[in-house]
Homo-oligomer: A and B are copies of this chain.
Amino acid sequence: MKRFGIILFAGLWCALFAGLCCAQEAGDFQPATTNVWGAEYPRVDRTGRVQLRVKAPDATKVRVNFWSGPKVEMVKQADGFWTLTTPPLVPGLHYYNFVVDGADVSDTGSHAFFGGGKHASAVEVPEPGSTYYAIQDVPHGQVREIWYYSKVTGSWRHALVYLPPNYDTQTKMRYPVLYLQHGGGEDETGWIRQGRANFILDNLVAAGKCKPMIIVMAYGYARRAGQATPAVPGPPAGSPDRLKAMQEMTSAFEDDVTQALIPYIDKTFRTMPDRDHRAMAGLSMGGMQTFQITLNHLDLFSYIGGFSGAGGMLGDRKLDPKTDYHGAFADPAAFAKKVHLLWVGVGTVEPERMRAGIQRLHTSLLEAKIQHVFYESPGTDHEWQTWRRDLKDFAPRLFQ
């Protein structure tokens, strides 16, 4: 998720940078876990500092752009490489790119993570003591790629499906399903590659903290059959035109999910195909889509999660429980009876615009006496570390 808002650690960055550039060879730097085979850079030390390197012998200006921070100039070395050591970054997965003489480019040393509408670079800064998203010696589920034909979009669509451990051996068992959506600029691979959702679930299930479940991760962009693909980039983030474009796309996606994807999943896997065993959640744009889709289809869903993006369709105004979402929030008692879980989360250092939107939704829901969970991830931004924690809190509350 590209950050346009407040620059969070710019001050820290500037304060530390002058000192660090001299000490950059010290430390215990190791290749990042997000690197491709054999790539020595980027490297991370135990304090979370990141060393970056890119070869651009004929360039006059090279910068690194961490999407959650400012662009910082790199320093040219005699061998044609440009280098930089950052101050300590907060734990988690950080998208970044280089800017080589004005060209936005990826780091060939990094694996590719689909974000910002392209295959972006990212570096994983370990969170000390956190094992919940690590691959551990527990039974592992599998992730399947599926292709389904959608009459709504008039096209073959690709989705990923996580099946819990032992799905293949316990052949009489049926499972509840969580539909879990990526953010704007990302795609159906995000929750596995960036989010490590499969390992989070493996670990929760192994610890007995969470019901075994199927997770379906769909491609969150859709246009109706015959409709042209919208231009990229579209209208600016936060603008009314962007909201309108998003509403149109979400409407097509809503029909795709409810008319093509869910029937396909229920036909293909051993699901429990009813509303009591079907959840939906999503991050950022995916949270917005989740609210629209689930609240329009309470006959299909009974668990709802908005990760840093719920209620986004409201723009900058408060929720009106009587009219918004077809009045789904008008009657708190009826809502509580129908919806087993409404879950809303945000990171405490997300950009003001995003944090304020979720906070406003939370306050609106309180005022409307709608029972819900409000979760704040301490110290994390509009980044994957927030959403990994969201999933860790959200999944154990499902299907109990």
Contacts and interface: CB of A to CB of B under 8 A. Distances in A.
Interface of A: 36-40, 54-62, 80, 98, 100-106, 108-109, 111-112, 114, 117-119, 135, 137, 140, 142-147, 149, 156, 168, 171, 187, 192, 221, 229-232, 268-269
A102 to B, nearest CB: 4
B105 A105 contact: yes
Contact of A38 (B36, B108, B117): B117
Given A60-B101, A106-B106, A221 B144 contact: no
Given A104-B108, A105-B105, A221 B37 contact: yes
Contacts of A269: 168
Contacts of A140: 146-147
Copies of the protein in its oligomer: 2
A60 B108 CA distance: 21
Given A36-B117, A106-B106, A144-B144, 5 more contacts: A36-B119, A38-B230, A80-B102, A112-B112, A142-B145
A37 to B, nearest CB: 6
A142 B161 CA distance: 10
A120 B13 CA distance: 32
B38 A229 contact: yes
A135 to B, nearest CB: 5
24 contacts: A37-B187, A37-B221, A38-B230, A40-B232, A55-B104, A56-B102, A57-B101, A58-B61, A58-B101, A58-B102, A59-B102, A60-B101, A100-B101, A101-B101, A104-B108, A106-B106, A106-B119, A108-B118, A109-B118, A119-B119, A135-B156, A140-B147, A143-B145, A144-B144
A111 B268 CA distance: 28
Nearest to A104: B108
Nearest to A136: B156
A112 B107 CA distance: 12
Contacts of A168: 268-269
A269 B198 CA distance: 20
Contacts of A80: 102
B147 A54 contact: no
B149 A100 contact: no
Best-surrounded residue of A104, A118, A231 (most CB of chain B within 10 A): A118
Contacts of A143: 144-145
Nearest to A192: B145
Contact of A232 (B39, B58, B117): B39
